[in-house]
Amino acid sequence: MRLRQLVLRVRPLWLFAFIGVLLFGTSWADGGLQQKLKSPAIPAAQDGDIVLQTSISPQCSAIREATQSDWTHCGIVFMEQGKAMVLEAVGPVRKTTLKEWLGRSAHWSILRLKDPAKLTADVKERMRKAGEGMMGKAYDTRFLWSDEEIYCSELVWKIYQVGAGIEVGEVEKWGSMKLDGPEAKRIIAQRFPGGKLPLEEPVVTPASISRCGLLEEVGVR
């Protein structure tokens, strides 16, 4: 009799526990599904796609201050044996897989030319050759317009200009940037003698490329 009473007392506890597991498990599964659905799919990459990212470094903080934009680094995609590779100026100009490149930052964007007819097979080949010609070049820490050294957005802009005759973004001057922020001042003092930045020097920024009306966003996170 006592055993039966004990079973009757315990049974509701097991029932509640079982229901709780079902509810929790369903909630967790739904949450995982929702998270999966919210995660943006990376579109199939194409030759000439431009990738932008938000990077974290003292230099990138200075770029954010100067350009008033979160976009601090960029690269250009070329397909190689079915694999998307990003040509970028970081240290020497080099190639990085698109997967690795996007994985560096929690915030990125993929831009594509709105008129794909402009990127004919011949144009893509010229762009590819222009990019190959810049492989191994040192990173330009002073952001000058010469081709001896090169920085990220300059690389992307010149590949499009040389290979396709297209200007992806406005070429501005340092004097038009916001240079009074603490990080910008620090970088200028470090890299330019006497802290004197050549204000008339042409410059193209990731922010400028992101605003280009010839491009459209095809992926973002």
Please tell me the predicted confidence (pLDDT) of residue 210: 98
Give the SS3 label for residue 1: coil
Averaged pLDDT, 213-219:
97
Please tell me the predicted confidence (pLDDT) of residue 188: 93
Cα–Cα distance for residue pair 48/76, rounded to 1 Å? 6
CATH 3.90.1720.10 fits 50-220, yes or no: yes
Which residues have C-beta within 8 Å of that of residue 69, sequence separation ≥ 6? 205, 206, 207, 210
* In the predicted structure, residue 151 carries a pLDDT above the cut 80: yes
Residues 151, 162, 42, 62: what is their CA dihedral angle, to the nearest 10 degrees?
A: 20
Could you state, in order of their start, the residue ranges of all structural domains in the chain?
A: 1-39, 50-220
Give the SS3 label for residue 112: strand
Which residues have C-beta within 8 Å of that of residue 40, sequence separation ≥ 6? 219, 220, 221
Give the SS3 label for residue 150: strand
Averaged pLDDT, 46-50:
97
What is the band of 41 on the pLDDT scale with cuts at 50, 70, 90?
low
Locate 162 and state its tokens. Answer: 């040389």
Cα–Cα distance for residue pair 176/172, rounded to 1 Å? 7
* In the predicted structure, residue 36 carries a pLDDT above the cut 90: no
What is the band of 1 on the pLDDT scale with cuts at 50, 70, 90?
very low
Cα–Cα distance for residue pair 175/139, rounded to 1 Å? 22
